[in-house]
Every structure is written in C-alpha cells, then in structure tokens.
Amino acid sequence: MTEEEVRFYLFFRYFPKSIKYKYTNLPEEINKLEDMLLYQEPKEKYAILCSGGVDSSILALLYNNPNSIICFVGTPHNKEEKKYFDLVASKFKGTIEVIDIPDDIFYIKSQEVYKQIPSLINDPAVIGVYTATQYLKAKHNIKYLVVGEYADELFYGYWLYPELFKIILPDFERIFKIVYAHCNFCFIDLLGTERIRFNQMWKEKYLNTTNNSILEIQVWFDRFLFAPEIVLYKNYIGTKLNKVKCVMPYYNPRISEFADNIPIEKHINEIETKIFLKEFAIKIGVPKECVYRTKTGFSCYPTIEVLNIMKEDIKKEGIEVNSKWNWKEVNAVWSLLIWKKEEVKDILNETICS
C-alpha cells in the first residue's frame, strides 16, 4: 500500500453512518461502550500505550489481564505526568514498562524515522510511538500496539470545545480563520496542493450553510482532517516502521455512531469536556485523579537541548540557536532541519519573527 493510499484509507475510513442507536440512560450506554471496546481487544500479543490520561487509561483497565502490557513513554516534557500512569499501573495485572526518551535518544530516533518517511509529518510524537514500538517488539515480540486516539474527536475532548459551545457563526471566512489558526501549527504540511484541497473540502461542506454552530464545524474539522492526516497517521507510521500493527479501538464506525447519538449536553458544557467518557472511566475504575487531570496529550517533541546537539547543522541554515525560544520555535527549527523544505523555512521565519 502506497503512502497516498494509506492517507486515503485513513481519511475515508470514517464512513457514513449505518448502525442506529438510541440514547436510553447512562448505565445502559456505559455497558454498550464497554462491550464495543472489549470486542476490539487484540487476540495476539499486544501492548497499550498509556499516558495516564482518560482515553488510554480506559483501555488499560478494560484490557487488564496478566498477559497484557502497558507502557509509559517518558520525555523531558512529561515528568509530572508519570504519577498518573503510576495510579493506573497500580491497578494493572500485567507487565508494566516505562521507556525514557532523553534528548540524545530523541535526536537519534528522529533521524531513523525521517530517513524512512517520504512525507512531511509535523507531529514529533511519531518519534515516541516509533521508539516505544521498537523497544516493545524487541523485548516482548508484540504484534499490536493499542493507542487511545480518536476519543477526543468522538467524545468532545479538546479544550476549545466548551468555548465554542452554543456559539453560532454563519460567516465562513471568520470560521475558517479561527479554526485554521487553531491547528495551523500542526498543519505545517498543508502547503501547495494540500492546502488547496483543504480549502475546497471546507468550502464545499459549509460555504452554502447559513446556521451551523462553530462547534459542529470544529468537530467536523478534527474528525475528518486533523485526526486522519496527523493524529492517526503518526501512529500508523510509528508502528508500521517496526512491522507492528496499530490498534485504535475508538476509531471505529460503531463507536462513532454511538457517540453521535449521545445528546451534546451529555458530552460537554461551557466548562467541561468528555462528560460521558469521564463517567464511563469512573465506572470501570480509572482513578479520579486521572479522569479530572488537566489535559496534556502525548508530550513528545524536541527541546532546546536537541537543537544544541544539532547546532552545527543549524548554523549551515544561517540560524543561531536562541535559548529563549519557546517550544513552537524549537519545533519549527527542528522541522526545518529534518525535512529541508523551503516552505518550512518560510513558516519558520513567520513563527520566529511574529
């Protein structure tokens, strides 16, 4: 399967609704979701990538048996998060693995990954997925890596969803600017034909609509563009390079239909995200500290120390490393060195100069 075919597959796998659900009551809905997630547990040796957040902790405790493995990927950015993983691990019956990726290892693994990937992927988390899969396959001979991706898209988990709740913005141009600005950093690869395709798809779906809430549009964007192009693709590539299959239990048409039939007010309100999924997590035993922690995501991206390792290469690009750069600026410079793209250099100049 070519890379283009993979992107096409990931993009269109979220196919039209075909299974009909009707929301009844919370206990019954929780049982339905539990059954659907349990059905997708791999039958061969697997490991679960667990950050200690809601989505991955649910999978860790549902697939909790002596033969399974949970793994935490430690980086310079997420040292404070391990305490949440430890809470989940204390309830886990299987093998517990902690993989640390210091700056020098991040640099080495990034070279390994991007020599094998022909395209531009602006999500350094692929390095974490790749490194964890490589280690787990070598030590445990896993066939599958289970990840908690796509729960945020289906169960309204992103931080900006409550801010957009009940807001109506029928002006396409305003909506586009707000949403595109939100994800612009992740979509550094939306250049040339990719950006044209993005614009066209967006306009075809919403330009002639007069009364869509911005929340509805944002959710569509995250499900159909952001997740397949960035979030899901990085997991697919990070595991495929190690000849391991990636399992994403939430990325399933039955679960998407199920989530869509839960009333919106049971998903989010003006201050809370993932209300239903958090209730589900509590029911199956996820510690409350993990359920109600601040959302951080999978933190695996370069630090200023990584750039110091690459200082000589950076000088060749006419750039001096600045210790005051924030994480976005660091990632932009790292992206330039990895991909050697003129378009990236243009965006880099905009980022650092803005």
Q: What stretch of H or E contains 58? A: helix 54-62
Q: Provide CB contacts within 8 A for 12, sequence distance 6+.
A: none
Q: Provide CB contacts within 8 A for 125, sequence distance 6+.
A: 234, 298, 300, 301
Lowest mean pLDDT, pick from 49-58, 89-98, 184-193, 198-207 = 184-193
- Ordered domains of the chain (ranges, CATH): 3-161+227-301 (3.40.50.620), 302-354 (no CATH)
pLDDT of the residue at 344: 45
CA atoms within 13 A on the CB side of 349: 7
Percent of the chain with pLDDT strictly greater than 70: 70
Per-residue model confidence as pLDDT tens digits over 249-279: 998 888 988 898 888 888 998 888 999 999 9
pLDDT of the residue at 88: 96
Per-residue model confidence as pLDDT tens digits over 209-220: 445 566 777 787
Lowest mean pLDDT, pick from 41-50, 182-191, 303-312 = 182-191
pLDDT of the residue at 50: 94
b/e sequence 19-35, b meaning 16+ C-beta within 10 Å: eeeeeeeeeebbebbee
What letter does residue 79 receive in the DSSP assignment? G
